[in-house]
A and B are shown apart, each in its own frame.
Chain A
Amino acid sequence: MSRLEDTPYARFLGVRPQEDAEGPLLVLPMSPHLIGNPSLPAIHGGVLGGFLEITALARLAAERPDAPLPKPIDVNIEYVRPAGPKDTYARAEIRRAGRRVANVRVEAWQDDPQKPVAALHGHFLLSAEG
């Protein structure tokens, strides 16, 4: 996972690669500009969606380092728990990657990986001539 954190939008969010016993993951360190609801406060749902999507793309790009970046076809984002002003982590699982399309699931959590704050399930176009 190297190229994705270098894209302008990932840098704008502050996404960084990390590794734990289970393997590579991405971290979104808490920053005031990520807040969507200042009165709670809570991280913006769109930021979580964007972070989940970057995690999916980074995972796919790591599998195919020389290919153009995959493009999202559709994504379904579920918001499971409140995401407070804390660091957020995400890991992607490629359910299936064919020649042209990949099916990916991503979960994001804050304190406990067993208690996700949000999840993404989406399809990504792999071939450049799509």
Chain B
Amino acid sequence: MTDAAAEMISRMMQATPQAGALGFEVVEVSPERAVMRAAWKPEMVGDPATGVIAGGVVTTLIDHVSGLAVNAARQGGMGAIATLDLRIDYLRPAGERLGLTASATCYRLTRNVAFVRAEAHDGQGDTPVATAQAAFMLGTAGAVSGSVA
């Protein structure tokens, strides 16, 4: 992918209002892998007793980086994409007041469907906070979810 294409996809992803509200940043994007980061913010907390980031923030970051991976694998191909389903395993709680970095790989791309694996880390140890698997519909007119044009 050209630098210009990568730059365009990254800019599109960061222009999403929800991604802006949570402060998501693109770390890396290539047809093989996309990486995004979210610094810890007080409004991300799911359980005030622990200060740990809510599952919904993990879900949003993973959905977003997965969409980025699909668009990168398509080399910026035209048409919206829509998440069909997203399965997340919460392997352990994120560390208190720690942000998350999520990476995603589009491991299979057909004319209609993209398959993605993703995981999220808080930088502590080897075990990810969450692993995920998602399927996306390509070239949708009225895209369903959080996914990106």
Contact = CB atoms under 8 A, between A and B. Distances in A.
Interface of A: 6-13, 32-40, 42-51, 53-54, 68-69, 71-83, 117-118
Contacts of B60: 44-47, 49-50
Q: Which of B80, B87, B89, B146 has the most CB of A within 10 A?
A: B146
B10 to A, nearest CB: 16
Given A12-B43, A13-B56, A37-B147, A73 B48 contact: no
B117 to A, nearest CB: 15
A8 B145 contact: no
B145 A42 contact: yes
Given A37-B16, A79-B85, A71 B93 contact: yes
Contacts, number: 170
Given A36-B18, A75-B87, A78-B84, 11 more contacts: A7-B47, A9-B56, A38-B15, A42-B146, A54-B56, A73-B89, A77-B85, A78-B85, A81-B144, A82-B142, A82-B144
B88 interface: yes
B42 A83 contact: no
Interface residues of B, number: 45
B46 interface: yes
A36 B60 CA distance: 10
Given A50-B54, A76-B87, A39 B18 contact: no
A9 B57 CA distance: 8
B16 A9 contact: no
Q: Which of B17, B48, B149 has the most CB of A within 10 A?
A: B17
